[in-house]
Structure 1
């Protein structure tokens, strides 16, 4: 019979060979895991929203597009007959509203013309949005003492509306914060140009 010492030497040699084979397999598959462990896929770096490149204009400027923006709308507290529209750039490039200086709003089925703009609200410079920055527009939903106080078609509550960033774009639906309806008189409604601050928008 082999001695106890010889048996231990044989066992040690066998373990050494097994360990060497396992390390070799791990090196061959490029992982520090076992050879039979599944490889972990590495996701590519995130690209522009929807995988596209924002359109550029003269001077390499980037026009703001719906894919780059988040929209919020609601009635500011203690402000009658007004609605505040907010857009935030969640992309990675600065964009602007040079092509269309104010939002094109549609209250209804979109077949009617967009809400007219308040001409005097045009800012001194084109509004540009850096990443994570916001722009604002005030919507006059009617006139004080006007028909918007009625429950008829001229003064109906809305919880969402259509908005386009230019005349060629299909309007996107913007829901009001909290889905709290705002009463709007479409013929009397007006909208400002995009403003660089909330304070500038609420002046109108």
Structure 2
């Protein structure tokens, strides 16, 4: 009787060892199933992220008054023409995509901004790298029948806004020479990339 019990115990131990060996061999076999212990505890790949961080220092933004220096004055030998210039004095490139022409106000601001000359729109949006200048031509009045006389008043400064509902920046005329302007008939061009382009109007 003791011999039979001992034989059964040895047989059971041998079977358990064989089963353990078989299980281990299955898990170590290349190409094992996805539910193997190694696959189950391996971390999932991190999803790709689009963390570009803050814009680069040279990133493009909308031109704002604090980024620009303004100059304006009458053009010699050009009747009823005044040139507005803005130079990018910041360290970032900016553009006029949101508001492609200056919003100009004369007097007490109750009148709407000067209408734009639609045909003056350039083929591409005007952008300013640091140190670059953009231009807009102001036609100060429609003129009289003979091309000389026109109604209006003399001004030495005017308001320039770069966005709707923005507070205009007051720009004084170069040389402080007054210019006669009629806000009822005056117009302005879109921003131009060069003085040559602006002087065509």
Question: Do they superpose with TM above 0.5?
Answer: yes
TM-score of Structure 1 vs Structure 2, range by shorter chain: 0.5 to 0.7
RMSD value, Cα: 1.7
1:194 matched residue in structure 2: 191
Give, in whole Å, the separation in 2 of the partners of 1:168 and 1:183.
26
Over residues 87-128 of structure 1, what are the superposed CA-to-partner deviations in whole Å (9 max), with x where a residue is unaligned? 000100110000000000001111210000000000000000
Matched, 1:178 2:175: yes
TM-score norm. by structure 1 comes to 0.67
Matched, 1:96 2:82: no
Structure 1: tracts of 5 or more residues without a match: 1-55
Shift of 1:145: 2.2
Give, in whole Å, the separation in 2 of the partners of 1:189 and 1:84.
13
The 3-state SS of whatever aligns with 2:166 is: coil
Indicate which of 160, 174, 177 corresponds to 1:163: 160
1:74 matched residue in structure 2: 73
The 3-state SS of whatever aligns with 1:186 is: coil
**In the comparison of the two structures, how many residue pairs are matched?**
143
Give, in whole Å, the separation in 2 of the partners of 1:122 and 1:114.
17
The 3-state SS of whatever aligns with 1:200 is: helix
Give, in whole Å, the separation in 2 of the partners of 1:65 and 1:90.
11
If you compute each CA radius of gyration, which structure gives the higher value, 1 or 2? 2
Q: 5 Å matches for 1:1-204?
A: 61-145=60-144, 149=149, 154-204=151-201
Shift of 1:144: 3.1
* Consecutive aligned runs of 4 or more in structure 1 exceeding 2 Å deviation: 143-150
Over residues 6-31 of structure 1, what are the superposed CA-to-partner deviations in whole Å (9 max), with x where a residue is unaligned? xxxxxxxxxxxxxxxxxxxxxxxxxx
Give, in whole Å, the separation in 1 of the partners of 2:149 and 2:168.
27
The 3-state SS of whatever aligns with 1:188 is: coil
Shift of 1:138: 0.1
TM-score norm. by structure 2 comes to 0.68
Indicate the structure with greater helix content: 1
Structure 2: tracts of 5 or more residues without a match: 1-54
1:42 matched residue in structure 2: none
